[in-house]
Amino acid sequence: MDVRNAQVEPTVEHGGTCLTYFMFPKESVRAETMGSYLEYVAEFELKPGAELEPHCHDSDEFYYLLQGEAVVQVSDEQKLLRPGDLVHIPREVPHSIWPAREGESFRALSFAVSFMGENAGAVPCDLPPARVKASVD
């Protein structure tokens, strides 16, 4: 599973006026996303005890954790996400996310580049058993 954060060396841009912390360097996902469109950009929140319905879709989706902690499962791998973590969910891969701790919630920014036709959407699916489980300490 591909989880990144902005704890990287900055790139100086725009005549030295801007420090950019690339989680995905420019052009690094061109081949994988060529022919797609920006499906959406949104913030979402899962309340305590909720779990996002496991689903898949023909989109490259990204979750950027803003507040709280969450466990994300992509295929058979789970990871603990903390604020500042960005997870990439590849096309057609079953996934879900839920609060890491009982009684707590989280908030995340989500965006996707899609290859779906008009009026297509996510399809509910089963997550495979977790081969790698998140450690919530």
Domains for the chain: give ranges and CATH numbers: 2-124 (2.60.120.10)
State the Cα–Cα distance between residues 3 and 88, nearest whole angstrom.
7
What pLDDT is recorded for position 12? 93
Task: Decide: helix, strand or coil at residue 34.
Answer: coil
DSSP per residue over 67-124, as a string?
A: ES-EEEEETTEEEEE-TTEEEEE-TT--EEEEESSTT--EEEEEEEEE-PPTT---EE
- For residues 60-86, give the mean pLDDT: 96
Band of pLDDT at residue 119, cut at 50, 70 and 90: confident
The rounded distance, in Å, linking the Cα atoms of 39 and 123 is: 16
d(CA 115, CA 60): 8
- Using a pLDDT cut of 90, give the percent of the chain over it: 70
List of residues 6+ apart from 112 with CB closer than 8 A = 38, 39, 40, 57, 59, 60, 61, 62
Q: What is the pLDDT of residue 66?
A: 97
Evaluate if residue 94 carries a pLDDT over 90.
yes
pTM of the model: 0.86
d(CA 28, CA 11): 15
